[in-house]
Structure 1
Amino acid sequence: MNYVSAENLSKSYGVKVLFKNITFHVNEGDKIAIVAKNGSGKSTLLKILMGKEIADGGEVVINKDIQVVLFDQEIDFDPKLSVEEFMMTLDSAPILALKKYHHALTSENPDDMETALAEMEIHKAWDLENEMEQILSQLKITDLSAKMGTLSGGQIKRIALAKLLTETRAEHRHTLLIMDEPTNHLDVEMVEWLENYLSKAKITLLLVTHDRYFLDAVCDKIWEMEDGNLYLHNGSYATYLENKMIREDNLNSTIDKANNLYRKELEWMRRQPKARTTKSKSRQDDFYETEKIAKTDTRKETLALDFEMKRLGNKILELRDINKSYGEKVLFKDFSYQFQRGEKVGIVGKNGAGKSTLLNIIQGFEPKDSGEIETGETIKFGYFAQKGLTYKEDERVIDFIKEIGENFPLANGKTISASQFLRLFLFDDQTQYSPISKLSGGEKRRLHLMYILYQNPNFLIFDEPTNDLDLPTLTVLENFLQNFQGSLIIVSHDRYFMDRIVDHVLAFEGDGKIKEFVGNFSEYRENLKNEEKSPKVEKTEVGSQKSEEKSTVQVVANPQPTNNQQPKKKLSFKEQHELETIEKEMPKLEEQRSKILDELNNETDYEKIAKFSAELESLSKKLENFELRWLELQD
């Protein structure tokens, strides 16, 4: 079944052409990723498909039997609504049936229940509430009474994602799901859950993401937008890269031929008398077409440059017995670590575990509770934070970079200009002389990154650098960091990025515990899975380690239980979450039970006694089930 067809679609803003005469089709079951440099028109194309923008030319036909659902970066919500109320604002028949059923439960009119039950059956809404709760639980949304206006940006994004997934499950008609950077602000466990959910779901998906592991796991087609064109690739991210390389090699060969022809044609054009009108019109037209091809700029600047970085001394950075808490919440306890020259450390852990706090403490932006930090005299930090760029409204890109310096020094004594450095990070000449205010969100983030690197630091600290960066920029950044001779700390949920860059992992496990692992992120995750399967594990916590020697987690292979006892199995993430939920809910249920008992003891009205008795029986049964499940999980 065809969902969307577009023929000869074009869109420009002033002189900037986003895309021209592109044609594509989306069929049922397609899972497509869009790859492009920021500012190439990805978001504009999505808005055209949503009907929020109009193309300059061409035609888009959307099947009348499908609905198009967008998960956008910008989320609209009423701050006064609770999470539960926000979730129930979904405008779909199953959700409306569910709301009507909830209303009927408290209605005194028996006809309301009869109507509600009929609609629940018609719209197959019985399992919807359970599915909604499961999705919210997986995305760590537990307090449904919290007001939307009190939540963090990350929490709001997760709730909006839960609402979107519920909507696609609720609607039984055909749906095209469009997602713009869905993994931003999700920790690794949530990303992996969403990845698994989307890869197994029978949906039609159009996805923009910078997470290459996520892209490979979920999508089977890639649309590449470049220089106003749309290139279609079937297969994985690796297949796309291979196809792109072949295309560029062929283009370079065509340009070389065009250059030779261009020189000959130019000589012919110049030889002809200006007043002569017998010159071949077709040959003139061919000349201008050849000129256009010959002057095509396919140069790919390389980052294989030996930058002149300020020399690192013997002392880099040492943390000794660092402690930090907020009230009863312990972020890290007696944490010690000595950073080495050229070491690239990745910091991972759940949101709120204290990762960004540690970065702030290292740089003196936030006080520690106790402990010592010794920073080498030669250290020059470069900090890429999440808060974004500060600039003058009318300031041009090139002037913003030149505020630091006209040139960037190389180790061979030469320099490259600010403009050349900008080109390394995919800012063409036209963009360099544009006001910063005209840049897209991703382009501003790329400029912020450039601003940090152009200051030539020897110790880089990156807090979620990959959010809102496009794949071409990430490739450039990764190449830069692989050649970077200084020290590096990265906080990121991007598994591909971490695997390419880091050689050490510091894992924030909660309750002040930080574990060190020597290796990249995927190796750490594999080790963690083995550890969960294996009952005998020697853990090394960096916080309790007084020596400066590095150590990794050691897993004992094929451990044997003693005294014929079965080894105690470690709880899975889902089971651990279930246990924590039960431990929170049981005291609440016991308190409700006590209140009902008090009401019963003081009540004489028969109808109220019957009502309270029914509530008491229901609560007692639920409490009993919780207690049995709690014992199972404890064992």
Structure 2
Amino acid sequence: MHYVTVEGLTKSYGAAPLFENISFHIEEGDKIALVALNGTGKSTLLRILCGKEVPDSGKSWIHKDVTVVMLEQQADFNPNKSVLENIFNYSHPILQAIKNYELLTDDNQEPDLDKLTDAIARMDELNAWHFDSKVKQILGKLNIHQLDQPVGSLSGGQQKRVALAKVLIDIGFEHTHTLLIMDEPTNHLDVSMIEWLENYLDQERVTLLLVTHDRYFLDSVCNEIMEIDRQQLFIYKGNYENYLEKKAAREEMDKSSTEKARNQYRKELEWMRKQPKARTTKSKSRIDAFYDVEKRASQRLEQQQLELNVKMTRLGGKILELKKVYKSFGDLHILKGFDYTFKKGERIGVVGKNGVGKSTFLNMLMGLEPADSGKINVGETVVFGNYSQQGLIVKEDMRVIEFVKNIAEHFPLADGTKVSAAQFLQLFLFTPEKQYTFISKLSGGEKRRLFLLSLLFRNPNFLILDEPTNDLDLPTLSILEDFLLNYQGCILIVSHDRYFMDKLVDHLFVFEGDGVVRDFPGNYTQYREWEKDQDKIKEMPAPVAAAAPTATAAPVAAPLAPQKKMSFKEKRELELLEKDIADLEAEKKGIDAKMSAGDLPYEQLEPLTRRIGEVIQLLDEKSMRWLELSE
């Protein structure tokens, strides 16, 4: 089914267009990633498709049966309402039935039996139990538990997770045909959540258009990449690796074409200068062609590789030493007797679930947060470069070039030469026109890029990067990676971007919770593989103990762990799951019998094939939930 058609779309802010005369189509089942430099119109294009912005020219057509659901970077919630009220904020009958049931079966209160009976009857009537199970799965995986908490009291990251949960729940209750648009869905998610979201979107039969900087996520979820480059749209079928190969080939052709245009331009320019004022009609057509050649010849091919031999501030023998460091906030233990001595050129990744104290650990190293006990000794030659999540704090009525020149006019290189502030800005993809833009006019991603640039321009020798990849575009990430690979100082990185971590770090500090920090020798992917192996070992049955030598020896019973009592809601869910699993098994058996008969026409076979896939997936989900409750 045809979902979206975009023809000749143009949008400008100021003199230069973000994109010009772009066209594309979206078909049912497409999973498309949109990539481009920050500030070149990715979010604007998504908002145009949702009807939240209007193009300058061109048109976008969406099929009348398609519902568009969008996850924006900034969630639009009522801060005074609870998480539950914000998630279930419109009057779909199934959503309202689940909302009423969840409110009545809250573990913190005894349910009104009459109301509960009515709520269960309504759930039965609407066959809403499958959807309720799906809601629980989404909320649980995104670590959203306190549903009665006002959204205004949540952190930015928690609000982003609530917004993501709302969108995923919405697409389950919308019409059959839904276009899901997501702007940076992996921001503020830890890696286990990102991996779950990958699997969820991969399994769901959803049509998807997303903006993301997470290359593993993009590679796992998407089968097509659209790129906005120099105001034009380029489409690449396939994965991220294929996109890189095809893009490199296109840029090589563009370079060759531009060189030819420049040679032709020189000849045409000479002819133009020789022409008399009174020109013939034939000359006029050649003049028109001249301006076309001039436009092609003046194209700039953005160089997205950064090769700087940095003159780094000298780093002495003593760098950073931690001895028996303890830190906690009430019952939350962050460090318990942590010992470590940093060496020159170390590249360490810091990983762990949200809320275990990773950012606090970084602040302690820089002296911004005191330790409860122990010693943190910093070498005299250490110059920290702190890329924090707070971002750029600066007067926004200042131009980009003025901001950088206030730090220094030139950036020194190891060979004794210097790069000017303007040249350094260009290396980080700020064009001469952009350099004279006011900071207030920059996009969120461009401000992050400027913050990163200003940090590196100060020549630190110990970089501390807290979520550096959030809101950065793929070209800028490529530049940052190249810079850091050539960087001679120490690097400490907190990031949920697995691709970024795998490329840069030598080993990991894994914050396992309760003050335990594991020093893992390897990158993030290696750590995840090791972690999965450990989980398999834990799941293996314990070896059977040898028989006692004498019959009279009475076995000593091991103390049983206290079992959590099932709530009323969980008992009810377990009963319904048993019934649902039996019904699904019977349906699967019936479909198998029909399909194996071999006499069905294609128009009957196709929906049966589709349905048996859905039945198998439902059986897996419900069986897993049944096991969880049974335990």
Mark yes or no: TM-score above 0.5. Answer: yes
- Equivalent residues of 2:400, 2:434 under 8 A apart: yes
SS at match of 1:506: strand
CA displacement 1:293-319 (0-9 Å, x = unmatched): 111111415322211101111111111
- Equivalent residues of 2:410, 2:419 under 8 A apart: yes
| Match of residue 475 from structure 2 | 472
Superposed counterparts of 1:190-339, under 5 Å: 190-274=193-277, 280-300=283-303, 302-339=305-342
Q: How many residues align?
A: 561
Deviation at 1:91, TM superposition (A): 3.8
Does 1:183 find its partner at 2:179?
no
| Match of residue 10 from structure 2 | 10
CA 1:134–1:276: 2 relative to 1, 3 Å = closer
Deviation at 1:186, TM superposition (A): 0.6
Does 1:29 find its partner at 2:29?
yes
Aligned partners of 1:559 and 1:407: how far apart in 2?
Answer: 65
SS at match of 1:461: strand
Superposed counterparts of 1:583-598, under 5 Å: 586=565
Deviation at 1:534, TM superposition (A): 3.1
CA displacement 1:218-264 (0-9 Å, x = unmatched): 11011111111111111001111111111110011111111211111
SS at match of 1:532: helix
Aligned partners of 1:251 and 1:236: how far apart in 2?
Answer: 22
Deviation at 1:629, TM superposition (A): 8.7
The amino acid across from 2:55 in the alignment is A
- Equivalent residues of 2:348, 2:507 under 8 A apart: yes
Aligned partners of 1:365 and 1:281: how far apart in 2?
Answer: 69
Identity, % of aligned positions = 53
Deviation at 1:359, TM superposition (A): 0.5
Does 1:435 find its partner at 2:438?
yes
Does 1:144 find its partner at 2:147?
yes
| Match of residue 620 from structure 2 | none
CA 1:81–1:186: 2 relative to 1, 3 Å = same
SS at match of 2:138: helix
| Match of residue 46 from structure 2 | 46
Q: Which runs of 5+ in 2 are unaligned?
A: 105-110, 548-560, 577-625
Aligned partners of 2:440 and 2:369: how far apart in 1?
Answer: 31
Aligned partners of 1:42 and 1:434: how far apart in 2?
Answer: 19
Deviation at 1:373, TM superposition (A): 1.1
Deviation at 1:476, TM superposition (A): 0.6
CA 1:535–1:630: 2 relative to 1, 3 Å = closer
- Equivalent residues of 2:83, 2:148 under 8 A apart: yes
| Match of residue 456 from structure 1 | 459
CA 1:49–1:496: 2 relative to 1, 3 Å = same
SS at match of 1:373: strand
- Equivalent residues of 2:66, 2:175 under 8 A apart: no
Superposed counterparts of 1:482-501, under 5 Å: 482-501=485-504
Superposed counterparts of 1:618-633, under 5 Å: none
Does 1:444 find its partner at 2:459?
no
| Match of residue 55 from structure 1 | 55
CA 1:276–1:5: 2 relative to 1, 3 Å = closer
- Equivalent residues of 2:67, 2:175 under 8 A apart: no
CA 1:477–1:618: 2 relative to 1, 3 Å = closer
Deviation at 1:390, TM superposition (A): 1.3
SS at match of 1:127: helix
The amino acid across from 2:400 in the alignment is V
The amino acid across from 1:511 in the alignment is D
Deviation at 1:287, TM superposition (A): 1.2
- Equivalent residues of 1:94, 1:171 under 8 A apart: no
SS at match of 2:433: helix
- Equivalent residues of 1:321, 1:333 under 8 A apart: yes
Deviation at 1:132, TM superposition (A): 0.9
Aligned partners of 2:329 and 2:478: how far apart in 1?
Answer: 38
- Equivalent residues of 2:4, 2:27 under 8 A apart: yes
| Match of residue 597 from structure 1 | none
SS at match of 2:403: helix
| 176-185 vs 285-294, greater mean Cα deviation | 285-294
- Equivalent residues of 1:80, 1:147 under 8 A apart: yes
Aligned partners of 1:285 and 1:631: how far apart in 2?
Answer: 75
Query: Could you say what the CA RMSD is over the residues aligned between the two structures, in angstroms?
Result: 3.1
CA displacement 1:121-158 (0-9 Å, x = unmatched): 4x542322221112111111122222222221111111
| Match of residue 597 from structure 2 | none
| Match of residue 574 from structure 1 | none
The amino acid across from 2:32 in the alignment is I
Deviation at 1:83, TM superposition (A): 2.1
Aligned partners of 2:128 and 2:542: how far apart in 1?
Answer: 49
CA 1:629–1:181: 2 relative to 1, 3 Å = closer
- Equivalent residues of 1:125, 1:170 under 8 A apart: no
CA 1:172–1:287: 2 relative to 1, 3 Å = closer
Deviation at 1:265, TM superposition (A): 1.2
Superposed counterparts of 1:366-381, under 5 Å: 366-381=369-384
| Match of residue 595 from structure 2 | none
CA 1:57–1:412: 2 relative to 1, 3 Å = same
- Equivalent residues of 1:101, 1:117 under 8 A apart: no
CA displacement 1:412-453 (0-9 Å, x = unmatched): 100000011011111001110010000001101110111101
Q: Report the TM-score, using the length of structure 1 for normalisation.
A: 0.83
Deviation at 1:385, TM superposition (A): 0.3
| Match of residue 529 from structure 2 | 526
Aligned partners of 1:224 and 1:563: how far apart in 2?
Answer: 62
The amino acid across from 2:174 in the alignment is E
Aligned partners of 1:5 and 1:361: how far apart in 2?
Answer: 53
Q: Which runs of 5+ in 1 are unaligned?
A: 537-557, 566-579, 590-613, 623-627
Superposed counterparts of 1:499-538, under 5 Å: 499-534=502-537
Deviation at 1:34, TM superposition (A): 0.3
SS at match of 2:407: coil
